[in-house]
């Protein structure tokens, strides 16, 4: 039996098992199974041991471990190293490798909604692993300017050292932008609210939330109410999963209508 896993905390919201088990069935990988596991920080070392011992064959990582997992890995791919964020893990030549499929996932998601990043201004909320992946994706797509705001100051200051072109904005304040992205974990709980002056944004912006479950966070509801284009993290999630599946199995799984339908039922 080949076992795959997503780890995180919280993890109830994760739809990764649904997607990967769907593809495993579709491509007749009947000896494979994908599960989710809620873990604590102290469990990270042991879980990597499970990959070393072939008890686990591949792993996804979600909040809040995308950065914290790095010290336990043998090597990082180029993108994971750039982002200092790992969402996909596998074993190669007896080494445990951390990869990042969020960057490409986000790029493909923007292409999906036909958002042309060139010469646009983005405003990122959050400074964790996902935020950094999004910065890298936006840079690759030719974004003109990125503002970033985070609840606490430490992470933005570290980011600013590596990306001098970032402009850090105080949490709760808002600049002028074309695209705003919620890259925090606020929204995973239905009642989470991001306090911003939504009325001052105008009505022709794109609101993007990396959260995909629930499908319409309060952040997206506020954007919608003001007449903006809104998009949740579903396609980013599917694209990052597609790449991870390909890394583990060498099969590029199809994103078919049935899969989209399964994921829309919340």
Catalytic residue numbers? 66
Question: CB under 8 Å to 6, separation ≥6 — which residues?
Answer: 14, 16, 17, 34, 35, 36, 37, 59, 60, 61, 62
Q: Would you tell me how many other CB atoms lie within 10 Å of the CB of residue 248?
A: 21
**H and E: helices and strands count for the chain:** 9, 12
For ligand ATR (CB under 6 A), the number of binding residues is 18
Strands 75-76 and 95-99: parallel
**CB closest to ligand ATR, residue no:** 128
Minimal distance, residue 100 CB to ligand ATR, in Å: 11
Instruction: Output 14 or 108, the one with its CB closest to ligand ATR.
Output: 14
Residue in this structure with the two tokens 């646009």, named with its chain if needed = 120
Per CB under 6 A, the list member of 129, 187, 223, 233 interacting with ligand ATR is 129
Per CB under 6 A, the list member of 13, 20, 66, 234 interacting with ligand ATR is 66
Per CB under 6 A, the list member of 59, 63, 211, 263 interacting with ligand ATR is 63
- The span of 58-66, 115-123, 135-143, 223-231 binding ligand ATR (CB under 6 A) equals 58-66
Distance from C-alpha of 165 to C-alpha of 144, rounded to nearest angstrom: 10
> What string marks each residue from 189 to 228 as x (binds ligand ATR by CB under 6 A) or -?
----------------------------------------
Minimal distance, residue 107 CB to ligand ATR, in Å: 17
- The span of 40-48, 103-111, 182-190, 211-219 binding ligand ATR (CB under 6 A) equals 182-190
Distance from C-alpha of 92 to C-alpha of 248, rounded to nearest angstrom: 10
CB 53 within 8 A of CB 3: no
Per CB under 6 A, the list member of 2, 151, 160, 216 interacting with ligand ATR is 151
- Helix axis angle, 154-162 relative to 129-140, nearest 10°? 30
Three-state DSSP at 141 gives coil
Based on the shown chain and the rule CB under 6 A, indicate whether residue 152 belongs to the binding site for ligand ATR. Answer: yes
Residues that bind ligand ATR (CB under 6 A): 63-64, 66-67, 85, 126-131, 150-152, 155, 184-186
């Amino acid at each position: 039996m080949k076992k795959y896993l997503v780890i995180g905390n919280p993890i109830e919201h994760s739809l990764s098992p649904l997607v990967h088990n769907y593809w495993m069935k579709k491509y007749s990988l009947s000896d494979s199974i994908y599960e989710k596991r809620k873990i604590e920080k102290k469990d990270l070392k042991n879980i990597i041991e499970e990959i070393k011992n072939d008890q686990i064959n591949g792993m996804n990582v979600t909040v809040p471990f995308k950065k914290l997992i790095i010290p336990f890995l043998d090597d990082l791919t180029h993108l994971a190293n750039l982002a200092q964020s790992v969402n996909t893990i596998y074993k190669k030549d007896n080494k445990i490798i951390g990869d990042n499929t969020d960057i490409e996932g986000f790029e493909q998601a923007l292409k999906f909604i036909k958002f042309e990043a060139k010469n646009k201004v983005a405003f990122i909320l959050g400074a964790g692993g996902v935020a950094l992946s999004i910065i890298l994706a936006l840079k690759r797509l030719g974004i003109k300017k990125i503002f970033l705001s985070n609840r606490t100051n430490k992470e933005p200051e570290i980011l600013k050292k590596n990306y001098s072109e970032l402009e850090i904005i105080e949490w709760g304040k808002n600049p002028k932008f074309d695209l705003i992205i919620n890259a925090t974990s606020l929204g995973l709980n239905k009642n989470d609210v991001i306090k911003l002056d939504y009325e001052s944004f105008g009505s022709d912006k794109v609101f993007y939330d990396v959260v995909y479950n629930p499908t319409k966070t309060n952040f997206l509801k506020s954007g919608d109410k003001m007449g903006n284009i809104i998009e949740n993290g579903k396609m980013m999630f599917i694209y990052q999963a597609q790449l991870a599946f390909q890394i583990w199995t060498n099969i590029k799984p199809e994103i078919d209508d049935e899969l989209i339908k399964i994921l829309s039922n919340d």
